[in-house]
Structure 1
Amino acid sequence: MDLVGEVIRSVRVGRPGARLVRQTGPRGVRFPAFEGSGFHIVLAGTCWLVSEHAGPVELRPGDVVLASAGAAHGLSPVPARLGDLPMVAFGPHPPEQGPARFEFLCGSYHLAHGAAPHYLRTLPALVVVSPDRERAPRLRALADLLRAEVAASPAGDDATVPALLDLVLVHVLRQWREEHEPGDGALTDDPAIATALREIHERPAEPWTVERLSRVAGLPRTSFARRFTELVGRPPMRYLTEWRLDRAAGLLRETDAPLATIARQVGYATEFAFSAAFRRAHGVPPGRFRRVPSPGMSGDDAPGRAGTVRAERG
Structure 2
Amino acid sequence: MISIDSSSSLQLAEMRPVAQTKSIASPRHAMSLFHPDPIAELLEKLYLPQWNAVEWTFPAHWGLSVPADVVSMYVFTQGSGWFVPDAPGSEPIRLMAGDHLITTRGTAHRMLHTLDCPAEPIAERISDPTWHIPNGPDSTAILYAQFSLRELKQNPLSIGLPEVIHLNHRADPVLRSCIPILDVLSTVKREAEHGWQLTVRKLAEIIFIKTLSVELTHGSNGANGNGDKHLMHAVTDATVGPVLKALVQSLGDPWTVPKMAKMANVSKSAFSERFRNLVGTPPLQYLTEIRMQNACELLRESPIEIANIATLVGYESPSSFSNAFKRWNGKSPAEYRRNAKQAIVG
TM-score range, shorter chain: 0.7 to 0.9
2:341 to 293, 304, 310: 293
User: What's the counterpart of residue 185 of structure 2?
Assistant: 146
Relative contact order: is structure 1 or structure 2 higher (C-alpha 8 Å, sep ≥ 6)? 1
Rounded to whole Å, the distance in 1 between the matches of 2:261 and 2:278 is: 15
Counterpart in the other structure of 1:177 = 216
Q: Residues 15 and 55 (structure 1 numbering): CA distance in 2 closer, same or farther, change over 3 Å? A: closer
Amino acid at match of 1:130: N
Cα distance, 1:47 vs. partner?
4.0
Match of 2:78 in 1: 44
Q: Residues 230 and 133 of structure 1: is their aligned pair in 2 closer, same or farther, counting only changes over 3 Å?
A: closer
Distance 2:345 2:42 in 1: 25
Find out whether 1:256 has 2:303 as its counterpart.
yes
Q: CA RMSD in A?
A: 3.6
Deviations 1:198-217 (A, max 9, x none): 22212222222223323333
CA contact (8 A) 2:63 2:120 kept: no
106, 118, 125: which one aligns with 2:144:
106
> Given the alignment, which residue of 120, 126, 139 partners 1:88?
120
In 1, the alpha carbon distance for the partners of 2:285 and 2:148 equals 24
Contact 1:23–1:103 (Cα < 8 Å) also in 2: no
Tell me the equivalent position of 1:235. 282
Assess, with a 3 A threshold, how the Cα gap between structure 1 residues 280 and 290 changes in structure 2: closer, same or farther: same
Structure 1 portions without partners, runs of 5+? 299-314
Q: In structure 1, what residue type is equivalent to 2:120?
A: V
Query: How far apart in 1 are the matches of 2:91 and 2:295?
Result: 38
SS of corresponding position for 1:18: strand
- Name the amino acid aligned to 1:141: P
* 1:71 pairs with 2:114: no
Note the 1:185-224 alignment, pairs <5 A.
187-188=232-233, 189-224=236-271
Which amino acid in structure 1 is aligned with residue 232 of structure 2?
L
Q: 2 CA distance for matches of 1:88 and 1:152?
A: 28
The answer as to whether partners of 2:55 and 2:141 remain within 8 angstroms in 1 is no
Residue 108 of structure 1 deviates from its aligned partner by 1.5
Distance in 2, matches of 1:23 and 1:124, equals 31
Shift of 1:170: 2.5
Residue 274 (structure 1) shift: 0.9
Deviations 1:157-203 (A, max 9, x none): 82322222222223223323333347xx9532433232332222122
- Gap change, CA 1:150 and 1:69, over 3 Å in 2: farther
Whichever residue aligns with residue 327 of structure 2, its letter is R
Q: 1:195 to 1:28 in 2, by over 3 A?
A: same
Contact 1:65–1:128 (CA under 8 A) maintained in structure 2 = yes
**Structure 1: how far apart are the matches of 2:308 and 2:345?**
31
Q: Deviations over 1:242-267 (max 9, x none)?
A: 10111112222343322222211111
Q: Percent identity?
A: 25
Q: Choose from 149, 152, 158 the match for 1:121.
A: 158
Query: What amino acid sits opposite 2:97 in the alignment?
Result: P
Query: Cα offset for 1:271?
Result: 0.8
Report the Cα distance in structure 1 between the residues aligned to 2:309 and 2:203, rounded to whole angstroms: 28
